Chains A and B, each alone.
Chain A
Amino acid sequence: MNPEIILAAGVASGTILLFAAIGEIFSERAGVINLGVEGMMFVGALAGFKVGVDTGNPWLGLVLAMAAGGALALLHAIVSIHFQADQIVSGLSLTFLGTGIALVLGEGLSGAGGGALLPVLTIPLVSSIPFIGKVFFSNQSILVYVGYLLVPAAWFWIHHTRPGLHLRAVGEYPTAADALGINVYRLRYVYVVFGGVLAGLAGAAISMAITPGWFANQETSGQGWIAVGLVIFAQWSPFRALIGAYLIATIRRLTLDLQGPPDFFGIPNPFYVYQPSTFFLDMLPYVLVIVVLVIGSRAALRRRLGAPAALGLPYVRGERGH
Chain B
Amino acid sequence: MTIGTSRRPALPFAITAERRLETPRLLPLTTTLGAVGVALVISGFLILLIGGDPIASFGHIIVSAFGSVGVLSDTLVKATPLIFTGLACALAFRMRLWNIGAEGQFYLGAWGASLIVLAPVVPPGTPGIVTIPLMVLAGLVAGAVWGFIAGWLRARFNVNEIITTLMLNYIAILWVRFWVFGPWSEGGFQLSRQFPKEAWLPRLTDLSSVLTVFSGLTVHLGLAFGIVAAILVWFVLKRTRKGYEIRLIGDNPQAANYAGVNIRRNIMLVMLASGGLAGLAGMAEVGGVVHRMQDAISPGYGFTGVIIAYLAKFNPLYVVFAAIAFGALILAGREIQPAGIPSMIQGVILFCVIASDVLLRYKIRLVRR
Q: Which residues of A contact B (CB under 8 A)?
A: 35, 39, 75, 79, 82-86, 88-90, 92-108, 222, 225-226, 228-229, 232, 274-277, 279-280, 282-283, 286-287, 289-290, 293-294, 297-298, 300-301, 316-319
Excluding A83-B354, A279-B175, 10 further A-B contacts by CB distance (< 8 Å) are A90-B354, A93-B348, A96-B346, A97-B344, A97-B351, A101-B340, A229-B166, A276-B178, A286-B171, A293-B163
Cβ distance A292 to chain B, nearest Cβ, rounded Å: 10
Among B153, B162, B185, B358, max chain A CB count under 10 A is at B162
Q: Is B140 part of the contact surface with A, judged by Cβ < 8 Å?
A: no
A280 CB contacts on chain B under 8 angstroms: 174, 178
> Which single member of B50, B168, B357 contacts A105 (CB below 8 Å)?
B50
> Who on chain B is nearest to A232 by CB?
B160
Other-chain contact of B345, A100, A232, A287 (Cβ < 8 Å)? A100
B133 in contact (CB, < 8 A): no
Check B340–A93 contact: CB distance below 8 A.
no
Known A-B contacts A79-B351, A93-B347; the reply to A283 vs B171 at CB < 8 A is yes
Q: In the complex, which of the residues A39, A75, A102, A232 contacts B163, with contact meaning CB atoms closer than 8 Å?
A: A232
B167→A85 contact, CB < 8 A: no
Partner of B338, one of A90, A94, A103, A222: A103
Give the interface of B toward A (CB within 8 A): 1, 3, 19, 46, 50, 98, 100, 153, 157-160, 162-164, 166-168, 170-171, 174-175, 177-178, 181-183, 185, 303, 306-307, 310, 337-348, 350-351, 354-355, 357-358, 361
| Chain B hits for A107, CB < 8 A | 337-340
- Interchain CA distance A107-B162 in the complex, whole Å: 30
Which of A92, A102, A316, A317 is most buried by chain B, counting CB atoms within 10 A of its CB? A92
Contact B167 A229 (CB under 8 A): yes
User: Which 4 residue pairs are nearest across A and B when measured between Cβ atoms?
Assistant: A103-B340, A100-B344, A97-B347, A276-B182
> A222 touching B354 by the CB < 8 A rule?
no
Q: Are A100 and B163 in contact (CB under 8 A)?
A: no
Q: Would you call A293 and B170 a contact (CB within 8 A)?
A: no
* Contact yes or no, A85 B357, CB < 8 A: yes
B350/A96 in contact, CB under 8 A: yes
Q: Residue B347 contacts which of A96, A108, A229 (CB distance < 8 angstroms)?
A: A96
A98 touches B153 (CB 8 A): no
Asked if B159 contacts A293 (CB within 8 A), the reply is yes
Question: CA A75 – CA B352 in complex, angstroms?
Answer: 11
Across the interface, name the chain A residue whose C-beta is closest to B358.
A83
Residues of A within 8 A of B159 (CB): 290, 293-294, 297
CB-defined contacts of B175 to chain A, threshold 8 Å: 279, 283
Please determine whether A318 and B306 come into contact, CB atoms closer than 8 angstroms: no
Given the contacts A99-B340, A107-B338, A107-B339, A86 and B178 also touching, CB distance less than 8 Å: no
Which residues of chain A have C-beta atoms less than 8 A from B337's C-beta?
Answer: 107
| A280 CA / B337 CA spacing, docked (Å) | 34
Residue of A nearest to B359 (CB): A83
Among the listed B163, B338, B350, which residue makes an inter-chain contact with A228, where contact means beta carbons less than 8 Å apart? Answer: B163
Report yes or no: A279 in contact with B178, Cβ–Cβ below 8 A: yes
Contact of B174 among A99, A279, A317 (CB under 8 A): A279
Residue of B with least CB distance to A99:
B343
Residue of A nearest to B153 (CB): A294
20 A-B residue pairs with CB within 8 Å? A35-B162, A88-B98, A92-B306, A96-B343, A96-B350, A99-B343, A99-B347, A100-B341, A102-B340, A103-B339, A103-B340, A104-B338, A104-B339, A104-B341, A226-B167, A277-B178, A280-B174, A289-B167, A297-B159, A316-B1
